[in-house]
Amino acid sequence: MSMDGRHDVPRWDAEEILTTDPLAMIARAAAVGDAAAQEVLRLDALIEARDAEGAGASLTNLSSWLDLTLQAEIAITLGRIVAGDSAELTAGEQTVKAAVRQTRQLQEAWERIWRDLGPDQLDWLTQTAAGQAIFHRLRRAAPRQQQVLPPGERRVLEQRDVTSRAGWVALSAQLQSRLRIDLGEHVISLDHALAALKGPDRAERQRTSEALGQALQAQDDLFAHGYSMVVLDHAGTDRLLGRRHWLAAINEANELSDASVAALLTAVEDRYPLAQQWWRRKAELLQIPDFAHFDRMAPVQAPEDGRTFTFAEAREIVVGAYADIAPECGDAARLHFDQPWIDAVARPRKPQGAFCSAGAPSGHPYVSVLFEGTTRDLLDLAHEVGHGVHAVLAGPQGALQHLPGPALAEVASGVGEAVVLERLVAEANTPQAMTALLGDRIDIAVANTFRQVATLGFEAAVHEMVGANGPASAGAIAEHWTRCQQDMHGDTVSAGPGYEHWWAFVPHITRSPGYVYAYAASELLALSLLERRDADGESFAANYLQLLQAGGSRSPAELLSPFGVDVEDPEFWELGLARLERLVSMV
């Protein structure tokens, strides 16, 4: 493994990422795209002839082609980070994107067949090895309690999306990426502004917050119109498909019943006082009498005052924590350190923020962090390695069912990070050190849980308003944002100038309406599973390992059933909230 001498931390090996000639990889992707396009044309004949062998081969091809196009995307994306841009990568990017689109079209064609014919008419297919291997993925395509459009109308609806909703989503994304926040002596991007809002200097946080509000206000009419168009398009699609409410589509994607989502939202909203309790305590710790929205993510302890770790120590802690959960999890975590799967150095082209590219099932994950030895760096490493552990254990499921949907996507990383935190808290030798550790973790849990549910409440209000009255003004949208935030904040957090415009930089509200509650679901699922771990002992490890190995091959309810939980019961979500409350009480 390549190590960086300055910090003794690993870096990706450019030769390993680009071990295949980029031109050869791009050519293979292009060939796959052409084959997938031809496959789409012969699907109807295969189904009409009930050709189990041919249909099974098509499904097998689809899984392997998705895998290969994903490999090509990863090679281009990570290749740019480690080796810079090149003529080959630039020229091949559009080719790979086209191959991805063509392969996705084959997947969508199979999903259309499943929707149009249903499982009863395709029982001959589900008896084949290939059909059984991706049965759950096809089953997910079947609509729940909604109208099935004729194939022609559905194709028109899907093609129209490119020029309607997708266009407005792209416009909103461009506006966000082009935001420039003027701080006087220099101008920063949205990403840098959000990072500054987590810094220890309160004056800097306030200045950044006000400048961000001004930058958003300057574009608020465009943001408001684009958001209104997305909401109207969403409502129109819901009507065409007979969906009963605006969350139906995302609930189906998450494979969560309306009752389970309602139970989650009720549990969190009823516990808003817990978030307020934390912010009140944090204001005391930071000695800020006028605690404001830009103080919510401030560190409880300055970075230079905290404990530091070498990367070797971090490796021992992370691998040990995952091994404590289950030996197989420890083995999967160790692979990340034994192989060149982690890049922990600063690079000119490296994106801000930690991430894990789960990779193609036939390959391996790639973890990107910036490790400088702080506790936050260690927890980021533990979190992203958790995503990699999940990807490794679920690899045998193949490209179509590799990983679960958003509601379970953060469970492995959340559980792993929490177990690392438990180790650090147990080793803390002063109350101040323990407070700093817990404060950082509570901030993340509160943001993922309460702030995301408040955002969902805002979305619901805007969808109702725009659905009834048409496009809304920026002022009308801001009123709903302010009200929902106030409901969450109570009298503990003051909203300073410009905060009423912050809805405009939340990407999910246009990209995937309703998506944000998945963050709360994942956070509370992880906390609730930790409660089960404390109660169940050894039986937990076997059930948890089975959950990770299943990937996306079963629904959340099926994956969680061995733990004896009911996601439609608010008391299940309360398990996670109670654990969070205990963390707050420890500070």
Mean pLDDT score, 407-426: 90
Q: Does the pLDDT value for residue 155 go beyond 70? A: no
For residue 123, count other CB atoms closer than 10 A to its CB.
10
Q: Does the pLDDT value for residue 456 go beyond 80? A: yes
Q: Does the pLDDT value for residue 510 go beyond 70? A: yes
Mean pLDDT score, 7-27: 68
pLDDT for residue 571:
87
pLDDT (tens digit, 9 = 90+) per residue, 316-349?
Answer: 999 999 999 999 999 999 999 999 899 988 877 7
Q: Alpha helix (H) ranges present in 368-451? A: 375-393, 406-409, 411-427, 431-446
DSSP label of 350: P
pLDDT for residue 145:
41
**Number of C-alpha atoms within 13 angstroms, CB side, residue 489?**
20
Mean pLDDT across the chain, nearest whole number? 86
Q: Does the pLDDT value for residue 176 go beyond 90? A: no
**Which of 7-16, 329-338, 563-572 is the least confident region?**
7-16
pLDDT (tens digit, 9 = 90+) per residue, 57-67?
Answer: 888 888 888 88
Number of H helices, E strands in the chain: 28, 7
CB 530 within 8 A of CB 418: yes
522: its two tokens: 């994942």
Which residue is associated with the tokens 């912010």? Answer: 279
395: its two tokens: 């690899």
Mean pLDDT score, 22-48: 80
pLDDT for residue 146:
47
Mean pLDDT score, 481-500: 96
Band (103; pLDDT cuts 50, 70, 90): confident
Band (16; pLDDT cuts 50, 70, 90): low
Q: Does the pLDDT value for residue 185 go beyond 50? A: yes
CB 234 within 8 A of CB 514: no
187: its two tokens: 């101008």
SS3 409: helix
Rounded CA-CA distance 219/86 in Å is: 35
Q: Does the pLDDT value for residue 86 go beyond 80? A: no
**Which of 2-6, 232-236, 243-247 is the least confident region?**
2-6
pLDDT (tens digit, 9 = 90+) per residue, 362-415?
Answer: 889 999 998 988 888 899 999 999 999 999 999 998 888 888 888 888 899 999
Mean pLDDT score, 483-510: 95
- For 558, the enclosing helix (H) or strand (E) is helix 556-560
**Residue of higher predicted confidence among 286 and 168:** 286
pLDDT for residue 19:
56
- Which letter, b or e, does each residue of 230-248 get, where b requires 16 or more Cβ atoms within 10 Å of its Cβ? bbbbbbebbeebebeebbb
pLDDT (tens digit, 9 = 90+) per residue, 519-566?
Answer: 999 999 999 999 989 888 778 999 999 999 999 888 898 899 999 888
Report how far apart, in Å, the C-alpha atoms of 131 and of each of 66, 134, 465, 538 are.
16, 6, 44, 35
Report how far apart, in Å, the C-alpha atoms of 139 and of each of 144, 151, 554 are.
10, 18, 10
pLDDT (tens digit, 9 = 90+) per residue, 265-316?
Answer: 999 999 999 999 999 999 999 999 999 999 999 998 765 566 789 999 999 9
Q: pTM value?
A: 0.85
- For 342, the enclosing helix (H) or strand (E) is strand 342-343
Rounded CA-CA distance 69/76 in Å is: 11
Phi first, then psi, for residue 368 (nearest 5°) are -120, 120
